[in-house]
Amino acid sequence: MYMEENKEEKILKAAEKVFLSKGFFPARMQDIAEAAGVAKGTLYLYFKDKTSIYIHLISHRLDDAISMIGMINKQKTSATEKMARFFDEIARYFAQAKETTSFVSIENINLSDELMKKMKVQVKPKMFKLVDLIAQIVESGIKSNEFKKINPQITAMYFVHLIPMFFISRMQFINAKDRNKTIKVLFFDGIKNEKESK
């Protein structure tokens, strides 16, 4: 069983590299098999088609994020520190995986109907779970008077949707340190000057 899991992981890593270099639509199962060092037939023992592989990769990314926020949520720190820690971990991840930009964003703006249907079934529930976990932190921050009395779910969704800013700012060649600092300030403090708002 261990060897099977090892081979599946090898295929997924190879597929990610192929998708990054060729793009999802031009990539072929043969390309993935060659990159993974396995026969094309072996590939089909693990995955039905390249769409299944792509969904699996996105699903893995969300599993990692869910696991991360779950661990952070258990820490005995303030809600603000938990949110900041999760933000920093996301920023660190994208700093290490620069190629992910094309894989997650531009390449997949015009996904096929088939792929979108599968995304809704397999990925959407995990996205909702991630939002729920973040909402729990927001709710605890409201109870401790760290945060304003705002809708935790909407706040959590807003927080999750900050992630594309990492992609967009990279395309604009914005310095990573400035980008991370600005996004964090905008989330926690907003855009309005405190003196002006009084």
- Domain residue ranges in the chain: 1-47, 57-193
Tokens of 110: 């015009």
Name which of 160, 117, 121, 123 is nearest 138 in CA terms: 160
CATH hierarchy code of domain 57-193: 1.10.357.10
The pLDDT-based confidence of 71 (bands split at 50, 70, 90) is very high
**pLDDT at position 114 over 60:** yes
The yes-or-no answer to whether 1-47 and 57-193 have a common fold is no
Which run of H or E residues covers position 57? helix 50-74
pLDDT at 111: 58
**pLDDT at position 69 over 60:** yes
**pLDDT at position 163 over 80:** no
DSSP 8-state class, residue 33:
H
CATH hierarchy code of domain 1-47: 1.10.10.60
Residue 40 and residue 30 in contact, taking contact as beta carbons nearer than 8 Å:
yes
